[in-house]
Structure formats: structure tokens, C-alpha cells
């Protein structure tokens, strides 16, 4: 039987279309930190000769997997089967460490029973195979000594959890991956669950299967090198979630605080049922060591309902939304809303006042959506005198009615009155950075708070500064909601400077 690898291999899939280019990719992958490479021979045009395979594999400094995936298993090779098997045989003779042989290739009749190590693979690009246990049984039966690999399409992150079930149930070295954005969790956590390997792309766009992070993302974003069986897991639930800055911020914070923890993106399609299914599946697996979740659009209300009003803080209940779930080691849940406190503290910090000093001050809130809701609740809690201005007046009226504020339409903005102006609309956000919700900053405005954080300095903030008012970017609110999440989850002071630098760096990379 093959040995379980001491450390899970970070396998870079090489997908160049000619041998010279693939050789360069191989060197690049090793330099970037790959601890194994997969040569996707089905990407090469034409299929390489034995001599070319020797050139490719000569002096390869890391273990290699030779794969020539046929179209029927999601690969690019569409020629005769005997040619495919011949090329794999030649790769074995050229020194490949493993040969990837699909489960539907009979063991007898192939020359692969001896020689290089075998990786028996099964792929399903439609979804989770109905009977994963039976597939594991077949993979174990066909070559008892081979490493098993199963890869299937994930519809939601609960499918990624099934890949972890597969790894835990495997008696022999295994790889189990859920493909697609929703399955990325199974790739990132492969090391925590003792997989033989996980696959990484060399660069964005060179993925050999959907959802593969790059080597750089594994190592620098998802803390690959420090992950082990004891790593605690956190994540952000949202849709969309791919461009969320939260994984970068929280992983940087965990690293700076020396914590054995990782934070992953979780794409859950809109809908209460989708959210509930995932949370149910997660809580059924306490061995995942899940400790916390950030929740963003469109699931904040679902989070409140799932956690239950009784387990949420007063502010979350008042706003009707939870953006932070804490999971105890025993599986108990707690819900918080850190948007509210983040907005308050960012505003009061910029104005140099205590929260209580908001009482009696006049505030104009532009917009009546989710961000406005948290801010209006906060301002009213501290007895500020709030007027909500919104494009859809009825929404402003409904929100105002709930929290005891006043309501107006956008046409009233030219007569806007308030010591504090808070923009909770996307007007001025990237790419329409020349827009501002106000033509001029009215006299008497002491502070302007734009909840937008991209760009960091909006036109509204430039107008406010020119008018002598305090100007506060949404970056502060965004940062503080993450800081407060970190502190709720860990009980430690958050490394704010590291988190701020990370946000600024992410924003510098553009949307």
C-alpha cells in the first residue's frame, strides 16, 4: 500500500499546449511553491512523443502526475483509447511518479498494474454522484494500492462537505474535490483533512477544473503552509462572494495574531432554503471545527432567523439582520450585527464625540436599503434627529416609521438640513466616481459620511472637505465591522493596522 504523504501535496496543474511551454510552467510552479505537478498531457498539441516526455520530466524536482484526461471524463483528449494509454505508458517510462487512470479503465489489459504509482480517478461534472460510498468502494476494489481521487461539481458549499466526508471515510490516500466556486472550500481545506493532495492553478485563467485557486492564493491568502488537522475554520456567506475582501482581511488578521485558523468564501445562492441547508449540513459535522461566519447580501435576514431571535444581540434583533455568526465548540450559535456598531464608532470617532453626544443632533440619511437601516437604527437608538431621503419615498417612509425618523424624496435634497450627512446609496461608487448625491454641501454640515469604500475618497467626501466639514469614508465602517467580528470570535484585540493595510491593498488592486 502506498504511504499517506507526510504533508498534503500542493499540486499545480500544468495546462500549456506545447512541451516547451509546459517545461517553463513546471519551473514556474516549483518556484511559486508547488510541491507536486500534474502534467495535463491532454492539453498538449500534438500528444507528446516518448522523447518529448523525457525532456519534460528530466530532472523534475517534485513528484509528478501524468494525466491524459479523455473528453468522456471532462478532459480534452478525443483520440483513440489505445493511443492515450500508450502516451501514459511512455510518461511512466519517462519517470512520472503517478499515472492518473480513470475508474472506467479496466485494470487488466493495461500495463499499469506495476511500475509508477497509480491514481484512480472518478469525475462527475453534473453534480454529486448519488452513491459516493459505492464509488469509494469501487475505487478501492479496482486497485487496492492506488491513491483514490474523486471530483464532482458542487451546487452549494454543502456539497463540498461531502468531499470531506469522503476523505474521512477513506482507508487509503485520497483526493476529494468539489468543483466550481461553491466547492472551493474542499480544495482549501484538503490539508486539514489529510488529503493526498489538492490542485492549484499556476495563474488566474490556467485552471484545469472550475474553482481551483492559484498557488499564490493557497499560500498567501488561504494560509496553506500553516494549516493542519487542528486548524479552526471561518468563512463568509454571500452571493456573489468571489470579490469579497473579507477572506483577505480575516486571514491576514489570523496570521498576524498567530492563530491556527483559516477563513474561506462560501457562495450560497439566494433563498432561505439554501442558507438553511448549508447551516444544517455544517452543524451535523462538528469535526469541521467551524467557529464563525460572516454573512452578507442576501442572507443577513436568513441568518437572524436561523440563529433565532433569542440567540442574537439586541441590535441585530432591532435591525432584523445578523452579519456575524459565532459557533461554539458544542455547536451553539450566536448572532450579532457588527455593521451597526461599526457605523456608529466610525462616525463618532471621526467627529471626536461619544455615542451619547449624538442625542439631539440632526442627521440626513440618503437611501433606505440595508446599510441605511443599520445606520438609522443606530442613530435613533442614540436619539439623533434623523431624516431619510430616498428615491422610492415609500421605502423611506416605511423605514422612518419603524425607527421614529422623518422621510422625504430625493427632490427635497436641495433643501437638506442636517449637521451630519450620510450617504447610503451607491451614487459615487466605482466606476461612476464623478457622481455625488448632492450638488453642494449645505451650510451647517459638520460631517459627511459616505458608506461607499470604493473609491476610498468619493466626490461627496471631496465636496465635504472643501466645505470645511469632517469627511469619513465607508472604509472605516467596513474595517470596523471586520475588527468587531474578529474580536467576537477570538476574544482578542484585532490587529487593526494589518486589517487596514489589507483593505487598502485590496482596493488598490481595483474591483
d(CA 285, CA 298): 25
Nearest to 57 by CA among 80, 37, 33, 35: 37
381 to 400: interface string for ligand NAP, x by CB under 6 A: ---------xxx--x-----
**Stretch of residues binding ligand NAP (CB under 6 A), selected from 101-109, 188-196, 201-209, 370-378:** 370-378
Nearer to ligand NAP, 214 or 246 (CB): 246
- Concerning whether 381 is annotated as a catalytic residue, the answer is no
DSSP three-state, residue 234: strand
- Concerning whether 430 is annotated as a catalytic residue, the answer is no
**Stretch of residues binding ligand NAP (CB under 6 A), selected from 118-126, 209-217, 281-289, 447-455:** 447-455
Nearer to ligand NAP, 151 or 452 (CB): 452
- Concerning whether 219 is annotated as a catalytic residue, the answer is no
Which residue out of 148, 219, 232, 300 is catalytically annotated? 300
- Concerning whether 300 is annotated as a catalytic residue, the answer is yes
Nearest to 183 by CA among 254, 259, 118, 264: 264
Give all strands (DSSP E) within 285-358, no chain letters: 290-295, 324-327, 333-336
As measured in angstroms, the least distance from the Cβ of 429 to ligand NAP is: 5
Q: What pairs with residue 14 in β-bridges?
A: 39
As measured in angstroms, the least distance from the Cβ of 477 to ligand NAP is: 4
Nearer to ligand NAP, 160 or 245 (CB): 245
Nearer to ligand NAP, 120 or 318 (CB): 318
Is residue 461 part of the contact set for ligand NAP (CB under 6 A)?
no
Is residue 427 part of the contact set for ligand NAP (CB under 6 A)?
yes
> What separation in angstroms does the CA of 201 have from each of 11, 26, 187, 391?
8, 12, 12, 45
**Stretch of residues binding ligand NAP (CB under 6 A), selected from 47-55, 70-78, 219-227, 368-376:** 368-376
464 to 483: interface string for ligand NAP, x by CB under 6 A: ----------x--xx--x--
d(CA 196, CA 198): 7
Give the Cβ contact number of residue 46 at 10 Å.
9
d(CA 386, CA 347): 15
As measured in angstroms, the least distance from the Cβ of 426 to ligand NAP is: 4
Contact 42, 69 (CB under 8 A): yes
Is residue 118 part of the contact set for ligand NAP (CB under 6 A)?
no
Give the Cβ contact number of residue 416 at 10 Å.
21
Is residue 369 part of the contact set for ligand NAP (CB under 6 A)?
yes
Q: In what order do the strands lie in the sheet with 98-102?
A: 174-179, 147-153, 117-124, 98-102, 64-67, 36-40, 9-14, 197-201
**Stretch of residues binding ligand NAP (CB under 6 A), selected from 199-207, 401-409, 451-459, 489-497:** 451-459
Q: CA neighbours within 13 Å on the CB side: how many for 259?
A: 24
- Give, as one character, the DSSP assignment of residue 73: G
Q: Which position among 368, 448, 461, 472 is part of the footprint of ligand NAP (CB under 6 A)?
A: 368
Question: Where in the sequence numbering do the catalytic residues fall?
Answer: 123, 149, 300, 339
Q: Which residues bind ligand NAP (CB under 6 A)?
A: 367-372, 390-392, 395, 424-427, 429, 451-453, 474, 477-478, 481
Amino acid at each position: 500500500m502506498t504511504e499517506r504523504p507526510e504533508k498534503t501535496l500542493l499540486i499545480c496543474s500544468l495546462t500549456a499546449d506545447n512541451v516547451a511551454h509546459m517545461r517553463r510552467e513546471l519551473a514556474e510552479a516549483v518556484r511559486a511553491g508547488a510541491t507536486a505537478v500534474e502534467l495535463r498531457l491532454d492539453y498538449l498539441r500534438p500528444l507528446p512523443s516518448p522523447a518529448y516526455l523525457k525532456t519534460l520530466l528530466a530532472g523534475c524536482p517534485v513528484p509528478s502526475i501524468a494525466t491524459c484526461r479523455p473528453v468522456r471524463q471532462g478532459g480534452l483528449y478525443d483520440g483513440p483509447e489505445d493511443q492515450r494509454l500508450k502516451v501514459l505508458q511512455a510518461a511512466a517510462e519517462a519517470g512520472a511518479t503517478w499515472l492518473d487512470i480513470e475508474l472506467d479503465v479496466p485494470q487488466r489489459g493495461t500495463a499499469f498494474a506495476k511500475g509508477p504509482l497509480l491514481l484512480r480517478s472518478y469525475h462527475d461534472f453534473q453534480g454529486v454522484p448519488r452513491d459516493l460510498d459505492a464509488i469509494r468502494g469501487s475505487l478501492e476494489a479496482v486497485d487496492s494500492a492506488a491513491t483514490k481521487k474523486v471530483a464532482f461539481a458542487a451546487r452549494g458549499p454543502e456539497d463540498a462537505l461531502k468531499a470531506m466526508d469522503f476523505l474521512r471515510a477513506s482507508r487509503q490516500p485520497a483526493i476529494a474535490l468539489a468543483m466550481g466556486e461553491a466547492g472551493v472550500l474542499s480544495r482549501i481545506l484538503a490539508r486539514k483533512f489529510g488529503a493526498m493532495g489538492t490542485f492549484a492553478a499556476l495563474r488566474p485563467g490556467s485552471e484545469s477544473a472550475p474553482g481551483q485557486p492559484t498557488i499564490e492564493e493557497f499560500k498567501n491568502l488561504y494560509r496553506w503552509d500553516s494549516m493542519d488537522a487542528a486548524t479552526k475554520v471561518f468563512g463568509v456567506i454571500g452571493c456573489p462572494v468571489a470579490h469579497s475582501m473579507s477572506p483577505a482581511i480575516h486571514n491576514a488578521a489570523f496570521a498576524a495574531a498567530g492563530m491556527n485558523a483559516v477563513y474561506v468564501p462560501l457562495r450560497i445562492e439566494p433563498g432561505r432554503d439554501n442558507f438553511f441547508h448549508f447551516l444544517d449540513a455544517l452543524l451535523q459535522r462538528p469535526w469541521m471545527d467551524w467557529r464563525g461566519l460572516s454573512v452578507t447580501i442576501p442572507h443577513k435576514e436568513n441568518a437572524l432567523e436561523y440563529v433565532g431571535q433569542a440567540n442574537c444581540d439586541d441590535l441585530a434583533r432591532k435591525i432584523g439582520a445578523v452579519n456575524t455568526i459565532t459557533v461554539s465548540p458544542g455547536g451553539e450559535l450566536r448572532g450579532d450585527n457588527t455593521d451597526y456598531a461599526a457605523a456608529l464608532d466610525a462616525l463618532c470617532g471621526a467627529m471626536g464625540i461619544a455615542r451619547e453626544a449624538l442625542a439631539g443632533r440632526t442627521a440626513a440619511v440618503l437611501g433606505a436599503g440595508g446599510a441605511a437601516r443599520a445606520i438609522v437604527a443606530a442613530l435613533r437608538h442614540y436619539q439623533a434627529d434623523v431624516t431619510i431621503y430616498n428615491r422610492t419615498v415609500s421605502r423611506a417612509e416605511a423605514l422612518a416609521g419603524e425607527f421614529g425618523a422623518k422621510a422625504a424624496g430625493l427632490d427635497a435634497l436641495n433643501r437638506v438640513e442636517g449637521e451630519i450627512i450620510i450617504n447610503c446609496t451607491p451614487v459615487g461608487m466605482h466606476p461612476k466616481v464623478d457622481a455625488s448625491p448632492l450638488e453642494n454641501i449645505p451650510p451647517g454640515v459638520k460631517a459627511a459620511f459616505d458608506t461607499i469604500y470604493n473609491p476610498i475618497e468619493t466626490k461627496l467626501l471631496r465636496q465635504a472637505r472643501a466645505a470645511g466639514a469632517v469627511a469619513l469614508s465607508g472604509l472605516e465602517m467596513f474595517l470596523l465591522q471586520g475588527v468587531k467580528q474578529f474580536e467576537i470570535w477570538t476574544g482578542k484585540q484585532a490587529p487593526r493596522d494589518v486589517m487596514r493595510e489589507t483593505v487598502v491593498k485590496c482596493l488598490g488592486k481595483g474591483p
